[in-house]
Amino acid sequence: QASSEHSVCFAVPEKEVKSVAAALQSRFREALNAGRLSQIAVIPNCSILAAVGQKMASTPGVSAKLFDAIAKANINIRAIAQGCSEYNITVVVKRDDCIKALRAVHSRFYHSKTTIAMGIIGPGLIGGTFLDQLRDQATTLKENLNIDLRVMGITGSTAMLLSDVGIELSKWREFVKDKGEKAELHKFVQHVHGNHFIPNTVIVDCTADSHVASHYHDWLRRGIHVITPNKKANSGPLDQVQKLQ
């Protein structure tokens, strides 16, 4: 309940929403009819995310870190609750955003300030050189810039290599050759974007393949960043180009 006196909000299990709403409508019917109460509103499909820990209220920056992580994941908070017990901060988000919000907060508190899951498409001359550069610069990026880059997958036209924790880049060529599986673009993207607690996903397309470029719009719509020297996306069919603008 906010101190503005304008509203009272609370969460109930979804299976009880109809009965609770009906009970409130019945209880406040007189106030509703008289205009003293504007409405009983139900916001469906929500999830509760709680950050729990000791001395949270007396530790500066905890709330800021939580809200900053959720904001940078482009997630809207519908309600906030923080008691004086110092043990938790609770937020309500859309159900569709709950996993993304959990990953964002988990990454912000337990990993570096910016943790990025990366998938590399096309480990040829350009892609291979880029992977070698990542190998050489990963420590500097993490220690000096607080950026933790994790290559979760590498795929070529015939074989791909997937990892749940990040590929060891000093031996990525050997791993692709010895431990790779049949390349499947949909499975590759799904793995890079969906199988770990990292909120930021980047696909780096180092190919000149128009088929790969045709997926950019869908990836961007799903919140996946795309980095590429591939010119096919902006030189293909007009409707495809317009979707990317």
Q: What are phi and psi of 93, to 5 degrees?
A: -130, 170
**How many angstroms separate the CA atoms of 141 and 149, rounded?**
8
pLDDT digits (tens, 9 = 90+) for 160-194: 999 988 999 999 999 999 999 999 999 999 999 87
Q: State how far the alpha carbon of 70 is from the alpha carbons of 50, 73, 233, in Å.
A: 12, 5, 31
Rounded Cα distance between 140 and 131, Å, is 15
Q: What confidence tens digit (pLDDT) does each residue in 114-160 have? A: 788 999 999 999 999 999 999 999 999 988 888 889 999 999 999 99
Averaged pLDDT for residues 68-80: 86
pLDDT confidence tier of residue 197, bands split at 50, 70 and 90: low
The residue that leads in pLDDT, 74 or 79, is 79
Mean pLDDT, range 24-28, rounded to an integer? 93
Cα gap 198→237, rounded to integer Å? 34
**pLDDT bracket for residue 111 (50, 70, 90):** low
| Residue in 48, 148, 76 with CA at minimum distance from that of residue 108 | 148
Q: What is the pLDDT of residue 200?
A: 83
User: In order of start, what are the domains of the chain with their CATH numbers?
Assistant: 1-44 (no CATH), 46-110 (3.30.2130.10), 114-244 (3.40.50.720)
Closest residue by Cα to residue 94 from 106, 107, 77? 77
Distance CA 214, CA 188 (A): 16
Neighbours of 104 (CB within 10 A): 26
Q: What is the pTM of this model?
A: 0.63
Of residues 34 and 243, more confidence is placed in 34
**End-to-end CA distance of the chain, in Å?**
42
Q: How far apart are CA 177 and CA 220, in angstroms?
A: 30
Confidence of residue 243 (pLDDT cuts 50, 70, 90): confident
Q: Is the pLDDT of residue 1 over 50?
A: no
